[in-house]
Amino acid sequence: MKTLDMLINNISVNWDAALGERTGNVGLGAIIRNHQGEVLAARSLTRVGLLEPAAAEALGALMAIQLARDMGYLSIILEGDAKVVIEAVLSNEPDWSRRGHLIDDIRTALTSFTQWKMAYVQRDANKAAHRLARMATAQSMDKVWTFDFPECIRELCFSGAKCSEHV
């Protein structure tokens, strides 16, 4: 019963990062869904300056966690396609890489939840978050949507299809 309760009460939070080749911007995207796959919120954020891909993904995970926390969720399943970031967070070992401070920040931010799980998903299952991140590379933005979601994710999330294949 505990596993069923966790699934029903959890919020899925997908995140991704994209590097803008032309702009030099880092785009971050996050999408929050309930246990039925319904979109509750989305966020797109731009950061100026190039980061290594793993650091950009770690920053995206941190942004997604902060969005879920700011919206008052207590139990989340965090899903992303950055295996190196997920493994670093779950290892509980010190991370001495350039992204180590971000891994520490993620671990600290996760303590604000009563329950959390972090899981790797294939890139194909992370399309909506990726589209939000890609959109952010072309624009300077920090935008949160709780309705009237951006066009780039509407077809994925509101046409009967799921934003993620992993619900």
pLDDT in tens, 57-79: 999 999 999 999 999 999 999 99
Residue 162 domain-assigned?
no
What CATH number did the domain enclosing 80 receive? 3.30.420.10
CA distances from 7 to 57, 108, 137, 167 (A): 25, 23, 33, 9
pLDDT at 140: 82
Residue 31 domain-assigned?
yes
pLDDT in tens, 137-154: 988 879 999 988 888 888
Residue 164 domain-assigned?
no
Residue 86 domain-assigned?
yes
Residue 156 domain-assigned?
no
Residue 29 domain-assigned?
yes
Residue 158 domain-assigned?
no
pLDDT in tens, 64-122: 999 999 999 999 999 999 999 999 999 978 888 888 899 999 999 999 999 999 999 99
Task: Give the residue numbers spanning the domain of 98.
Answer: 2-149
State how many domains the chain has.
Answer: 1
Q: Which residues pair with 47 in a beta bridge?
A: 26
pTM of the entire structure? 0.87
Give me the residue label for tokens 């995970």: 61
Residue 161 domain-assigned?
no
The sheet carrying 39-48 orders its strands as 115-120, 75-80, 11-19, 25-33, 39-48, 142-145
Tokens encoding 137? 């590379």
CA distance 124 to 127: 6
pLDDT at 160 over 50: no
Rg of the Cα trace of the chain? 15
